[in-house]
A and B are shown apart, each in its own frame.
Chain A
């Protein structure tokens, strides 16, 4: 690795640096992913723009309308322990606590997690099931991006060059809403789930999202439609095979993941609907 490291102290400065260096620049938030990628020679930036000085991206707040806003530079450990996150949705706090080890959670940020876009990460399915959106900043302003559709492929997102995720927004849940995140981890060669399922039942609407079963984390829309049309859980989860496209890998064969997706989606639905 050989690069120039820049440490802006404001978002505008970070965006200017990214614009100045274009494709030769890479942002570094916590650094857990980028250090590994650079060490393996998979990413070779000439310039690294460190984001840790952007304190404006570190807060967790709740809007008057009940929207939870988590700054992109909040670490997984901060989010896991945040009273605001837990009060909004206990399962969301637990989801952040599922990530890797406490060492990684102390260093890795939520924005970095989402932009890294590994399909087996824990936060994305839970945030998808919560219908989260992102505030994305660029030199031309700010735009809101639904998380559903943000992940375009493995390790790829809808971010344009020079854009930075500013914060994650989680809409309020209805009174009596239930949410859960189930992580099926039969093998621990690494900490990524073989299959993971997040389910949210809020105000009569049920959302289901899965990780580890396709090129991106995904909403299980066929399952959701079946539930909405009144199907029993056992019948609805049969439709999950229409939503997913798992690969054979060290975490399980594609066939095994399809079976496990059914089993764990049923368990998640029973937990939020039962």
Chain B
């Protein structure tokens, strides 16, 4: 099994790891780097709880080989708040509008919605549906999540 030196940034911080060829990003983040905000739900790329950004693009960390992260900027849920700890407007909106209950899908919802709002600052209902369809929630029925995204997107609260 080949081993590779991977240099990347995690939430803006430079990192260097040595990873075997088959290492997946979700396991590197959770087990090696202590970034357990990213969850491992289905492990087949369907549920969205492992959603992360690689160079600003939303991907499933459970399907992403670590060898593909070399030279990239990785963003996880831990990187959404400001360095001083103040929450992003989207995170505040999730609290205000009831965007979570048990919280297991929440990191993925936040990362996915962050990517949506970066691409489309004022998403339509259809935009939200189509973009967020890959982030499954067992608790909320999605209404609070949608409301939070609408609010963070600059819509009337």
Contact = CB atoms under 8 A, between A and B. Distances in A.
Given A101-B48, A104-B45, A106-B58, 18 more contacts: A4-B21, A5-B22, A7-B67, A31-B64, A31-B68, A32-B45, A32-B60, A35-B63, A35-B65, A77-B57, A101-B46, A101-B134, A102-B112, A102-B130, A102-B134, A103-B48, A103-B134, A104-B60
B117 interface: no
A77 B59 CA distance: 11
A31 B61 CA distance: 11
Contacts of A104: 45, 60, 63, 134
Given A5-B4, A36-B45, A100 B134 contact: yes
A107 B59 contact: yes
Contact of B58 (A1, A48, A50, A103): A103
A38 interface: yes
B144 to A, nearest CB: 21
B39 to A, nearest CB: 14
A2 B1 contact: yes
Nearest to B4: A5
B51 A35 contact: no
A3 B21 CA distance: 7
A50 B134 contact: no
Contacts of B43: 39
Contacts of B51: 103
B21 A103 contact: no
What DSSP secondary structure best describes chain B's contact surface?
mixed
Contacts of B48: 101, 103
Given A102-B134, A106-B57, A106-B59, A35 B67 contact: no
Interface residues of A, number: 26
Contacts, number: 72
Contacts of A2: 1, 22
A50 B67 contact: yes
A31 B45 CA distance: 11
Given A5-B2, A5-B4, A102-B134, A107 B64 contact: yes
B133 interface: yes
Interface in A1-40: 1-7, 28, 31-32, 35-36, 38-39
B63 A32 contact: yes
8 contacts: A2-B22, A3-B21, A35-B64, A52-B68, A103-B51, A104-B134, A107-B59, A107-B63
B24 interface: yes
A36 B42 CA distance: 12
B108 to A, nearest CB: 10
B17 interface: no
A102 B131 contact: yes
A190 B67 CA distance: 28
B67 A5 contact: yes
A107 B57 CA distance: 9
Contacts of A48: 21
Interface string B44-55: 111010010000
Contacts of A32: 45, 60, 63
Given A4-B1, A101-B48, A103-B59, A38 B22 contact: yes
B145 to A, nearest CB: 15
A190 B46 CA distance: 8
A268 B21 CA distance: 45
Contacts of A7: 67
Given A32-B63, A50-B68, A103-B134, A1 B22 contact: yes
Interface in B115-157: 115, 130-131, 133-134
A180 to B, nearest CB: 18
A189 to B, nearest CB: 9
B63 A102 contact: no
B100 to A, nearest CB: 20
Contacts of A31: 63-65, 68
Nearest to B24: A35
A100 B131 CA distance: 11
